[in-house]
């Protein structure tokens, strides 16, 4: 057995195992610096490191080590790396009591026995070490790379122990255990134990933490649970929904192309992530496609007599419209391919355009939908926005078709004369593609993308003024005039239609309330000013509501109530309107006739003249066309002064002032031409004209009298104001047939072709 001397470093509180390196720094005056010197000078840097734990128990095992990297620091200290090589037995310490002297020892090598199945044990250990370092967070797993290919159990244990074992005493035990096998066992044991300890510690930790964080934890858990629930719920919901959608798609009777598209979109929906915005876009789209009435039709009522009966019951008059509808249905029955005509009802508000369209739908058993295009500027309102827009949706046509629930509804498009176009496109041309029977079979909405057949839809349009209907559209329409009603027609409508409707709506017996005709007429005359009956309906409704409220509030027991003139003030307030009643006959005053949104009215025209330069003064806020008519009237009389016995000087030495009172009436249009001319003539010839006479007709410079519009309304207004004779253009003769009977009966019409004929009437008027 080899023995040799070695200088000794005695470690206190630290253990150096073989395969490990110790970095030490010595003070210049330390004894140990001498030991380092001795080692370097006489022992090739070899040195014995002994770890002493208790001085009474002087260790028998030391570690043969080598000094490396001996560095002298600027402050005189020495820093060395001491690398542990192997265990040696210390046979003797040479000067243990002389503290100042360096220690020296006599050591001898230790011979290790061969270990059976060493590699198996090594592998097992490595495995355990790996799992240990993995599970325990505060142990670095860098040692794994050091031992991965280790073949010696002796070295393996020494490499890992300082890393894995924290107790210094235990490491010392490892040092003192010469047999690697024993150390291997110890290590396994320690690993198991450490793992156990860690587990317990962790549990303890968690319990402490749990108590500390209880409220916070509960909050977190609840939040998590909410999310989990939502997630689970969502996926469940989505699955259910997809099943439902698939079922609906299977059942839906739509063109094959649309079905294909639907299945494709459904697939996209299935694979999309719930939270993504795309998902709801796809779902909305699918729902739109499903909801459209692709091939669903209501069956038309073909009993034309019954249709007519229903229309007559719901609406008074409106002969032409009703007749036209019956014709349409008759043609349709003869030939299935007959294209739906596009009927356009033109007339002032409240004359029953919308409600009649609704009744038509009812009478022929079609569903009814309505859109208003008044004020629309953007064509997207009609044909929708592309899906790429945020919040995109179909246009009004497709949206209404969804509501219609059938592909052959009656589709009312209101106020087509109030559309306008701007930079966002022309809604008129979009509307044309909707109405045109050539195109509307393949109507395409930007959002829906798939073609939708509108060819079975019965379109009905409405407008207030024919002149404001876009020209391109007007060409395709069959215009039906629905003009205003006379007072007597209104009276009929009120008693036969409006009152029964209102009384029923208020849940009253049909004979509970009576209103005498003259009371209704008073309401028509003094509380409404309209061509239609909307305001009248509102006023009647107001009366009935007030009566009902009074009965309920005062708990009155009565069987019947009669509304007389006396209560009108109470229920409807002060009279709102007074119609122009014909004035006394005067020189220079003539009744023209006006046609306004409220219907017709007389329009007194006053003319005065006084010294001046032949100028024309016009007041009463006249429109441009009416101003022109006034100029034409004057010029005509100037150039024909002889014919009409006018003193020419009166025309050129005076200024002529024409005033048209009634500021509230819009005064424009050419139809006052002959009335203006006659008023000037009356003034300058000093001859009165009867106030029982009214005139309407355009005049040319040659004195020809041209046709005018709104004859019905004008004559109704004239009758109300007490006019007995009306001069009209011969060209309007055909319109006389359509005038209400009372007008025809009570008014004398004189048809004229030129102003000369008007003059005849004038001079013969006594």
From the centroid of its chain, how far is CA 16?
A: 77
Is residue 345 within 8 A of residue 532, CB to CB? The reply is: no
Q: In 3-state terms, what secondary structure has residue 706?
A: strand
Supply the minimum distance, in Å, between the C-beta of residue 650 and ligand ADP: 48
Closest by Cα among 428, 62, 425, 450 to 286: 450
Query: Nearer to ligand ADP by C-beta: 9 or 345?
Result: 345
Catalytic residue among 400, 671, 682, 690: 671
Looking from the CA of 537 toward its CB, the CA atoms found within 13 Å total 17
Query: Nearer to ligand ADP by C-beta: 452 or 485?
Result: 485
CA-CA distance, 333 to 312, in Å (whole number)? 21
Query: Nearer to ligand ADP by C-beta: 316 or 641?
Result: 316
Query: Nearer to ligand ADP by C-beta: 467 or 760?
Result: 467
Q: Check if 267 is active-site.
A: no
Torsion sign (Cα): 417, 419, 422, 428? negative
3 state SS for 265-301: HHHHHHHCCCCCHHHHHHHHHHHHHHHCCCCCCCCCC
CA-CA distance, 126 to 485, in Å (whole number)? 107
CA-CA distance, 263 to 278, in Å (whole number)? 17
Query: Nearer to ligand ADP by C-beta: 154 or 415?
Result: 415
Supply the minimum distance, in Å, between the C-beta of residue 237 and ligand ADP: 44
Supply the minimum distance, in Å, between the C-beta of residue 489 and ligand ADP: 8
3 state SS for 488-520: HHHHHHHHHHHHHHHHHHCCCCCCCEEECHHHH
Is residue 118 within 8 A of residue 155, CB to CB? The reply is: no
Q: Check if 671 is active-site.
A: yes
Cα angle 639, 642, 648; round to 5:
70
Query: Nearer to ligand ADP by C-beta: 484 or 729?
Result: 484
Catalytic residue among 363, 407, 714, 721: 714
Supply the minimum distance, in Å, between the C-beta of residue 421 and ligand ADP: 24
Query: Nearer to ligand ADP by C-beta: 351 or 480?
Result: 351
Q: In 3-state terms, what secondary structure has residue 657?
A: strand
Supply the minimum distance, in Å, between the C-beta of residue 758 and ligand ADP: 35
Strand partners of residue 536 = none
The residue nearest ligand ADP at its CB is 352
Supply the minimum distance, in Å, between the C-beta of residue 491 and ligand ADP: 12
Query: Nearer to ligand ADP by C-beta: 261 or 370?
Result: 370
Supply the minimum distance, in Å, between the C-beta of residue 219 and ligand ADP: 60
State the CB neighbour count (10 A cutoff) for residue 630: 24
State the CB neighbour count (10 A cutoff) for residue 430: 26
Both structure tokens of 325? 């509808």
Supply the minimum distance, in Å, between the C-beta of residue 480 and ligand ADP: 12
Query: Nearer to ligand ADP by C-beta: 186 or 318?
Result: 318
| CA distances for 631 relative to 46, 358, 753, angstroms | 135, 47, 20
| CA distances for 574 relative to 63, 403, 490, 528, 546, angstroms | 123, 43, 21, 12, 16
Supply the minimum distance, in Å, between the C-beta of residue 343 and ligand ADP: 14
CA-CA distance, 421 to 381, in Å (whole number)? 12
H helices of 43-140, where? 118-135
CA-CA distance, 399 to 184, in Å (whole number)? 82
Residues engaged in binding ligand ADP (CB under 6 A): 315-318, 349-355, 462, 493, 497, 532-534, 537
CA-CA distance, 477 to 483, in Å (whole number)? 18
Closest by Cα among 456, 443, 371 to 407: 456
Supply the minimum distance, in Å, between the C-beta of residue 303 and ligand ADP: 22
Sequential DSSP letters for 437-501? TTTGGGEE-TTT-SEE--TT-EEEEEES-GGGS-HHHHTT-EEEE-----HHHHHHHIIIIIHHH
Helix, strand, coil fractions of the chain, as percent rounded to 5? 50, 20, 35
Query: Nearer to ligand ADP by C-beta: 36 or 412?
Result: 412
Active site residues: 671, 714
């Amino acid at each position: 057995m080899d023995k040799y001397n070695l200088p000794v470093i005695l470690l206190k509180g630290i253990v150096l195992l073989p395969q490990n390196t110790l970095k030490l720094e010595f003070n210049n005056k330390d004894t140990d610096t001498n030991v380092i010197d001795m080692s370097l000078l006489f022992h090739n840097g070899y040195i014995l490191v002994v770890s002493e734990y208790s001085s009474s128990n002087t260790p028998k095992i030391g570690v043969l080590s080598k000094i490396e990297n001996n560095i002298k620091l600027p402050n005189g200290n020495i820093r060395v790396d001491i690398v542990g090589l192997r265990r040696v037995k210390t046979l003797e310490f040479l000067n243990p009591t002389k503290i100042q002297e360096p220690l020296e020892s006599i050591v001898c090598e230790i011979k290790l026995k061969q270990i059976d199945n060493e590699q198996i044990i090594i592998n097992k250990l490595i495995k355990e070490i790996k799992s240990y370092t993995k599970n325990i967070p505060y142990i670095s797993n860098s040692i794994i790379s050091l031992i991965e290919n280790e073949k010696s159990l002796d070295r393996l244990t020494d490499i890992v122990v300082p890393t894995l074992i924290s107790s210094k005493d235990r490491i010392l035990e490892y040092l003192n255990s010469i047999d690697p096998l024993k150390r291997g066992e110890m290590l396994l044991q320690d690993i198991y134990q450490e793992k156990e300890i860690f587990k317990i510690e962790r549990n303890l930790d968690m319990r402490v933490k749990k108590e500390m964080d209880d409220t916070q934890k509960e909050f977190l858990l609840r939040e998590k649970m909410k999310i989990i629930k939502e997630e689970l719920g969502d996926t469940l919901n989505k699955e259910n929904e997809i099943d439902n959608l698939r079922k609906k798609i299977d059942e839906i009777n739509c063109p094959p192309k649309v079905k294909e598209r639907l299945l494709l979109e459904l697939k996209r929906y299935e694979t999309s992530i719930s939270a993504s915005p795309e998902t709801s876009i796809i779902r909305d789209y699918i729902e739109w496609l499903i909801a459209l009435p692709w091939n669903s039709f209501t069956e038309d009522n073909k009993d034309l007599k019954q249709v007519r009966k229903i229309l007559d019951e719901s609406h008074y008059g409106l002969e032409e419209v009703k007749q036209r509808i019956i014709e349409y249905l008759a043609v349709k029955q003869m030939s299935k391919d007959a294209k739906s005509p596009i009927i356009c009802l033109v007339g002032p508000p409240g004359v029953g355009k919308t409600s009649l369209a609704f009744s038509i739908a009812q009478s022929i058993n079609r569903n009814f939908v309505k859109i208003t295009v008044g004020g629309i500027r953007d064509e997207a309102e009609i044909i929708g926005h592309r899906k790429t827009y945020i919040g995109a949706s179909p246009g009004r046509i497709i949206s209404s078709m969804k509501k219609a629930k059938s592909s052959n509804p009656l589709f009312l498009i209101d106020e087509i004369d109030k559309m306008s176009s701007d930079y966002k496109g022309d809604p008129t041309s979009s509307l044309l593609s909707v109405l045109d029977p050539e195109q509307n079979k393949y109507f395409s909405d930007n959002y829906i993308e798939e073609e939708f057949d509108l060819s079975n839809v019965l379109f009905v349009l409405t407008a207030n003024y024919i002149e404001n209907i876009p020209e391109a559209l007007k060409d395709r329409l069959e215009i039906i005039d629905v003009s205003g009603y006379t007072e007597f027609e209104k009276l009929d409508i009120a008693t036969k239609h409006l009152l029964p409707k209102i009384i029923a709506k208020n849940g009253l017996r049909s004979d509970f309330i009576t209103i005498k005709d003259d009371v209704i007429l008073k309401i028509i005359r003094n509380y409404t000013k309209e061509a239609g009956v909307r305001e009248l309906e509102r006023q009647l409704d107001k009366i009935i509501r007030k009566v009902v409220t009074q009965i309920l509030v005062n708990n009155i027991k009565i069987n019947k109530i009669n509304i007389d003139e006396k209560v009108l003030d109470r229920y409807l307030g002060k009279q709102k309107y007074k119609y122009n009643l014909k004035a006394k006959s005067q020189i220079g005053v003539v009744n023209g006739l006006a046609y306004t949104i409220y219907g017709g009215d007389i329009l007194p025209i006053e003319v005065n003249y006084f010294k001046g330069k032949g100028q024309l003064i016009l007041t009463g806020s006249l429109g441009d066309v009416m101003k022109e008519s006034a100029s034409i009237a004057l010029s005509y009389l100037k150039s024909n002064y002889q014919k009409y016995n006018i003193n020419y000087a009166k025309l050129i030495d005076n200024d002529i002032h024409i005033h048209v009172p009634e500021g509230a009436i819009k005064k424009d249009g050419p139809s006052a031409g002959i009335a203006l001319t006659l008023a000037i003539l009356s003034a300058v010839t000093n001859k009165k004209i009867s106030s029982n006479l009214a005139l309407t007709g355009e005049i040319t410079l040659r004195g020809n009298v041209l046709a005018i519009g709104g004859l019905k309304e004008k004559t109704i207004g004239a009758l109300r104001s007490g006019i007995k004779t009306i001069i009209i253009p011969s060209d309007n003769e055909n319109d006389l047939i359509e005038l209400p009977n009372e007008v025809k009966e009570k008014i004398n019409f004189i048809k004229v072709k030129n102003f000369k004929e008007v003059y005849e009437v004038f001079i013969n008027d006594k």
